[in-house]
Structures are given as structure tokens and as C-alpha cells.
Amino acid sequence: MGRKFTHTSRKQLPPEQVKKSIEAFRNPSNWPDWNTSAKSMLATKPESIDEGDHIAIFQIIKGSLIETKWLVKSIREGEFFCEIELLGEGQSRNERPIAKGLKNLQISITFLHEKEGGIEVHASCEVSLILSLFSKQINTFMRKQSDQLVTDLSNID
């Protein structure tokens, strides 16, 4: 049995800003323009993100190429909201699998484009009991991932 880690970040924004953020998020070819972590990106389709699509984000960390793969698990839309769930499919460093201890890594991004709305990012994962010994580092990772995504999406022009 493992342990679950979660973190939620949110920021209140005007409806027009939230709509711009949705447009930018759902257009993979624009990700490197707004996402400070994504130096480049591959997606099933270059101009839209839809349910069932796969995306891969590439970044350089300490001189190594890190590839993070995601499945667009679900997209729910209503008149004033859009919720996109991403399921982590793995991470590799220089084409070798890493972060194998993180299971069921998920990110849920909720865009609420009405008065008092904004963006919320909820990240969660499960780890083995042994890996839970590193709970401080895992909590830091979850918080940084959520906070950075909210910040990046909030700063889109």
C-alpha cells in the first residue's frame, strides 16, 4: 500500500484572462511561448488538445534532456468553465525511464471564466511506502508543479 500526495494552487483572474489561458493551453504549438518548463513539445495534433490526445514536454534540467509524457484523460466544458485532466504516462532522462516510484500522477486544470473565477490546478500522485520517506521532496515537487502552471497560465498576454 502506498501514500497519496496532493496539492492545489489557484488564482482569481478576470474572465477575459481565463479565456486567453484556455486558448493557449489547448493549442500545443504555443506551449513553449507561455510554459516556462516546456522548451519544446510534441502533441497528437499541433493546433488543439482533445480528450485522448498524448503530449510530451521536453526540458533541459542540469544538462539532461527530460521528457514528460501525458495523456489527456478528460475534458469537461460548460458555459463558464473548462476542466482538463492529464494523466502522467512516464518521464525519462536522456531516453532512460525515471521517476518510476510516482504512480497515478494526475493534474486537473480548471478554468472558470466568470466573475470571481480564475484558474485552479490540482496535482496528485501515489508513491510506495519506501518512497514516502521522501515526503518533503514529493510535497515540494507537487507544490512547485501546481504553482508554476498557475503562474504561467496567469501571465499569458
DSSP per-residue string spanning 24-60? HHT-GGGHHHH-TT-SEEEESSSS---TT-EEEEEEE
Residue-level pLDDT at 119: 98
Show Cβ contacts of residue 138 under 8 Å, excluding neighbours closer than 6 positions: 5, 102, 125, 127, 131, 132
How would residue 65 be classed by pLDDT, with cut points 50, 70 and 90? confident
Tell me the β-bridge partners of 61: 64
How would residue 34 be classed by pLDDT, with cut points 50, 70 and 90? very high
Residue-level pLDDT at 87: 96
Are 30 and 45 in contact by the 8 Å Cβ rule? The answer is no
How would residue 56 be classed by pLDDT, with cut points 50, 70 and 90? very high
How would residue 99 be classed by pLDDT, with cut points 50, 70 and 90? confident
Q: Which range, of 4-18, 38-52, 68-82, averages the lowest pLDDT? A: 38-52
The span from the CA of 57 to the CA of 91, in Å, is 10
CB atoms within 10 A of CB 140: 12
Average predicted confidence (pLDDT) for the chain: 90
Q: Which range, of 12-16, 54-58, 80-84, averages the lowest pLDDT? A: 54-58
Supply 19's cell numbers: 479565456
Residue-level pLDDT at 1: 53
Residue-level pLDDT at 122: 97
Helices (H) and strands (E) counted in the chain, each on its own, are 3, 8
Residue-level pLDDT at 61: 80
Tens digit of each residue's pLDDT (9 = 90 or more) over 110-123: 999 999 999 999 99
Are 9 and 146 in contact by the 8 Å Cβ rule? The answer is yes
